[in-house]
Amino acid sequence: MDNTQPRMRWWGWGEDGHDGPVKPGAKKMLTKSCGWPEGVNRPPIDLDAVQLPGAELPDDARSRFDELLGAAYVRDDRATRVSHAAGRSVPDLLRLRSGQMPFAPDAVLFPASEAEVDELLAICSQERIAVVPFGGGTSVVGGIDAFRPGFRSCVCISLARLDQVLDIDEKSLTVTAQAGVFGPDLEERLQAEGFTLGHFPQSFEFSTVGGWVSTRSAGQQSTGYGRIDENVFGLHCSTPSGPIRLHPTPASAAGPNPRQMLIGSEGTLGIITQATLRIKRLPETTLPDAWFFPDFHSGATALREMEQTGLRPDIARLSDVNETAFGLAQLGSGLQRKGLLAFLRARGVTTPCLLVLRYDGRTSDARSRRAAGRAIAKKQTGVSIGGAPETMWEKHRFSTPYLRDQLMTEGIVVETMETAAQWSTIEDLHDTIRQDIEKSLADRGTPALVLCHVSHLYTAGCSLYYTVFAQQQEGQEMEQWTALKTAAGDAMVDNGGTITHHHATGADHAPWLAEETGELWLRMLRAAKAEVDPGGIMNPGKLMHGPTTL
């Protein structure tokens, strides 16, 4: 496969051929909550009609890039520029679909080695060219928007040709992979040898090792297998001031951990070229389980007890009342849904909250953890219908993002956002964020449907992940999105939450960073950046330097 060809379609999620009509049950629920914009059909514009700024790569820089990489790997054709100009946030999708692209890289560069990345950054520094590192382009926080404040030009450096799994160390249980390796390619290679990284973000199929490490990504199995930041033992990073090569060590007391400084740096300090990650042996068994609770409180209490007593389910996902109802509304058969609701009603569960769980490992161990988990779920008045809901959720877990594209065509905007907080505040936070989002959109005359789930457990707390639907305000889509984002962001930082549990900061969350970390920490971060990136070329306008414009 030629990895320099984009894996995702240029205007939306994933590949063609996976879209389907919105299921009648889901449409009914959206109509009831948000109103359905009858007769709306807003498909994305043609690629040829996309309005791009002119490419401004200076000739002297281009010839240096051509000489280093070969002209075939310095591309500025329309398709390449557009497909590297935006991630998959709502503002990105609005810009892509309408064809109004105020920013795009002047060229996309495809280095094939660490040495080439080192050299490219040296050239960009000398030539005053802004650099946007690019993995899979799935950022949902404006992480790859091609800002160039005060620079002569802006290039995107794609890691697509650094696509090798370099080593599987069976004794240490680690894998060393180059930054441009995509999720499925890494897992295929690991699983063929009996291992797994266990890192499955919903964007798994289209995101990369370098992207995960740069954003502190969390996967759907991170409760059991760990977030990516817990699993990095070594990494290589090229910076404009030179390379940083941190060899893998299981632990160290040599001062603050430099790996943790680079993990989550979102391309603002340098380009991660390879990482050494913890892997596990493939589990002997994976046991699904599922429960319906009468309310969010009892489900959350059960999860807390499971985590704090060391059961550590490998997958744990508790949907609130709205999300459970939306999931059930998408069930193919109304009869099936009605039967299930009647079954639950008969057991006192009228507003069900679904919890899906999975226990991985040796069969005996997984069985005993599941039995202990069941005892806790029962104690919290959960009702079991076996493992089928978990199996069904797993089957569809990578396909739900396609629904967002379809709904945008039909005039419904869909935003997702996440936070994390301590158990002591989580339930209040769950309500406050939902209410503030609902108010921000109702005030604009576009009432919302807000769904939420818990998907990552820690002994001290958990994550909350929101999905918000509302009718798009035609002509004021960005203002509508800003109102929603501001309401949610303020509610998170004002009530003990983080502005992001795993989507990272990018441009979109940058306005809240100082509130979360304090100004002094930001100044420390900027001082570190000044050392490795004195010209400030690395991913301007993101993380510590956002927000900014062109």
Ligand X SMILES: Cc1cc2nc3c(=O)[nH]c(=O)nc-3n(C[C@H](O)[C@H](O)[C@H](O)COP(=O)(O)OP(=O)(O)OC[C@H]3O[C@@H](n4cnc5c(N)ncnc54)[C@H](O)[C@@H]3O)c2cc1C
Instruction: Print the binding letters for residues 398-417 with ligand X: x by CB under 6 A, - otherwise.
Output: ---x----------------
Q: Scan residues 305-324 and list those touching ligand X (CB under 6 A).
A: none
Residue 522: exposure state from Cβ atoms within 10 A (0-12, 13-18, ≥19): middle
488: closest CA among 416, 432, 415, 437? Answer: 437
Binder among 6, 12, 133, 240 for ligand X (CB under 6 A): 133
Q: Would you say 267 or 411 has its CB closer to ligand X?
A: 267
Rounding to the nearest 10 degrees, give the CA dihedral for residues 267, 273, 276, 281: 100
Decide if residue 201 touches ligand X (CB under 6 A): yes
Shortest separation between residue 266's beta carbon and ligand X, angstroms: 4
| Residue 269 annotated in ligand binding | yes
Give the residue at shortest CB distance from ligand X: 211
Binder among 73, 134, 292, 481 for ligand X (CB under 6 A): 134
CA-CA distance, 157 to 154, in Å (whole number)?
Answer: 10
Size of the site for ligand X (CB under 6 A): 39
Q: Which stretch binds ligand X (CB under 6 A): 36-44, 56-64, 201-209, 511-519?
A: 201-209
| Residue 426 annotated in ligand binding | no
Task: Decide: helix, strand or coil at residue 393.
Answer: helix
Decide if residue 263 touches ligand X (CB under 6 A): no
CA-CA distance, 152 to 122, in Å (whole number)?
Answer: 15
Catalytic residue among 73, 225, 465, 466: 465
CA-CA distance, 487 to 482, in Å (whole number)?
Answer: 8
Q: Scan residues 382-401 and list those touching ligand X (CB under 6 A).
A: 401
Those residues whose C-beta lies under 8 Å from the C-beta of residue 249, and which sit 6 or more positions away, are: 233, 234
Binder among 87, 224, 288, 411 for ligand X (CB under 6 A): 87
Those residues whose C-beta lies under 8 Å from the C-beta of residue 364, and which sit 6 or more positions away, are: none
Decide if residue 352 touches ligand X (CB under 6 A): no
Decide if residue 139 touches ligand X (CB under 6 A): yes
Q: Would you say 181 or 377 has its CB closer to ligand X?
A: 181
Known active-site residue 73: no
**CA dihedral for 335, 340, 343, 346, sign (positive or negative):** negative
Binder among 153, 196, 214, 446 for ligand X (CB under 6 A): 214
**CA dihedral for 454, 456, 458, 460, sign (positive or negative):** negative
Binder among 125, 196, 202, 286 for ligand X (CB under 6 A): 202
Binder among 144, 328, 357, 420 for ligand X (CB under 6 A): 144
| Residue 252 annotated in ligand binding | no
Q: Are strands 383-384 and 412-422 parallel, antiparallel or unpaired?
A: unpaired
Task: Tell me if 243 sits within 8 A of 531, measured CB to CB.
Answer: no
Amino acid identity at 478: M
Amino acid identity at 367: R
Q: Scan residues 488-527 and list those touching ligand X (CB under 6 A).
A: 502-504, 506
| Residue 137 annotated in ligand binding | yes
CA-CA distance, 499 to 503, in Å (whole number)?
Answer: 9
| Residue 136 annotated in ligand binding | yes
Decide if residue 539 touches ligand X (CB under 6 A): yes
Binding site for ligand X (CB under 6 A): 13, 87-88, 132-140, 143-144, 159, 179, 201-203, 207-208, 210-212, 214-215, 217-218, 266-267, 271-272, 401, 502-504, 506, 539, 542
What are the catalytic residues?
A: 465
